[in-house]
Amino acid sequence: MNRAAPDLADETDADTIRRLFEAQRPRALALRTSTAAERIDKLKRLRRLMYARWDDIRAACHADFAKPAAEVDISEILPVVAEANHAIRHLKRWMKPERKRPTLLMFGTRAEVRFEPRGRCLIISPWNYPINLSFGPLVSAIAAGNTVILKPSEMTPHCAALMQDMLGELFDEDEITTVQGAVETSQHLLELPFDHIFFTGSPAVGRIVMAAAAQHLTSVTLELGGKSPVIVDKTADIAKTAQNVAWGKFANSGQTCIAPDHVHVHADVADAFVEAMRKAVTKFYGERRDIPDNPDYCRIVNERHHDRVRGLADDATERGAHTPLGDTAAGGDNYIAPTLLTDIDPESRVLDEEIFGPLLPVLTFTDVDQPIARINAAPKPLALYVFARDDAFIERVIGATSAGGTCINQSVVHFLHTHLPFGGVNNSGLGNSHGHYGFRAFSHERAVLRERFSLAFLFLPPYTRFTRWVIRLAVKYMN
């Protein structure tokens, strides 16, 4: 397996970044009047290029962290193509001004909301789904008529180099371009007064991005993360639940922002759930001794993250946790086995830190108020998953908690639903993306009111006795 990084410059210098940013100013102004047909043509060309470079995308993802070809197809290529297809089908309708009925106070006026491009946009994308989480927001930015500077993660250099090559083939740099680098490059970018920033990453870095954006009053969309919980009721279909949780958790070796982070399972079915998880993992990846050689199982992206995840597992087992599935033995090539942890000490780091790896703590409860209280005591998660046949149980959990999104009797697939908003809440994110929501994130919703024959002249000074009477009447009855 080739894991050598391509020859990329360590950082894009500040002068180059500012030159690109300034070059996009006139282009952004010109794109304000771009038509739906022009934007759709760009989306179609991007879609064609995704198909043309299919094998290259697979190869780059495998080179960066041994991502299986099937997972590349379903989690990197499919979401981008689905976003492009959805935007192509609906963009003309999205771009049409929305007529707004007048209120009684505004009788005699005509109002509408127009969707105009925000302008020069910055997309900072992560390493865990490098193609998907770069080109997905890019589709929305193109649909909304913006220019873009894309800064992909330096931790997946093969994918970063491929995206730079692909976008260079499609676009002039004064419209869409890519810059390479790590922290220093991001700092240079965040010093500039972009019109919108779309960031995907950790809550800690999200705070830095938001603080930098505040210096220019730049709008932001933040897709962050957190510890997405699972609640399994005793009424759940345990075999199906385990299969869905195992796939959501161990695909991409757990390096998914909406992956199940930990499971609260009813004590009556806890043993059955653990056994069903063992069977599901064996079905997906084989026996424990065979998983390291299974090409369908991904690797941790680099040694630093491997050591971080391994440290979480070691801390838990040193505090007495058991591993009914997987092990915490060292593995080469940044390999960590799919691992369940039970009997976990409450002080274990794995219960407090976002795992972002193939470790799944299993906690038990006898009353649903126990996991609800734990969830509500923690920062709001990006996703919450409920498995049950009891509708009252499901509604109790949803009504008593808050999360960016929720699946019932399934995990992670809500990301692929282009009619749903995708985003977090508070610590797990700000704003939404995907489909129409992504188009709106990259658009300014401009209110336009046209005077026809309104009664506004009745409120003008001098404030005579009659004028004051009209104002009082309006306050009471015309709002």
Q: Which of 76, 154, 175, 223 is catalytic?
A: 223
Closest by CA to 220, choosing from 209, 228, 231, is: 209
Helices 14-31 and 183-190: angle between axes, nearest 10 degrees: 50
pTM for the structure as a whole? 0.95
479 residues of the chain, pLDDT tens digit each: 344 455 555 689 999 999 999 999 999 999 999 999 999 999 999 999 999 999 999 999 999 999 999 999 999 999 999 999 999 999 999 999 999 999 989 999 999 999 999 999 999 999 999 999 999 999 999 999 999 999 999 999 999 999 999 999 999 999 999 999 999 999 999 999 999 999 999 999 999 999 999 999 999 999 999 999 999 999 999 999 999 999 999 999 999 999 999 999 999 999 999 999 999 999 999 998 899 999 999 999 999 999 999 999 999 999 999 999 997 565 678 999 999 999 999 999 999 999 999 999 999 999 999 999 999 999 999 999 999 999 999 999 999 999 999 999 999 999 999 999 999 999 999 999 999 999 999 999 999 999 999 889 999 999 999 999 999 999 998 87
DSSP secondary structure letters along 212-224:
HHHTTT-EEEEE-
Cα(359)–Cα(313) distance, rounded to whole angstroms? Answer: 7
Cα(435)–Cα(43) distance, rounded to whole angstroms? Answer: 13
Annotation marks residue 76 as catalytic: no
Cα(87)–Cα(429) distance, rounded to whole angstroms? Answer: 23
Annotation marks residue 173 as catalytic: no
Q: Which of 61, 159, 257, 298 is catalytic?
A: 257
Which helix (H) or strand (E) segment holds residue 466: the answer is helix 465-477
Q: What is the pLDDT of residue 36?
A: 98
Give the domains, in start order, of the chain with CATH numbers.
14-225+429-446 (3.40.605.10), 229-402 (3.40.309.10)
Q: How many CB atoms lie within 10 A of CB 414?
A: 19
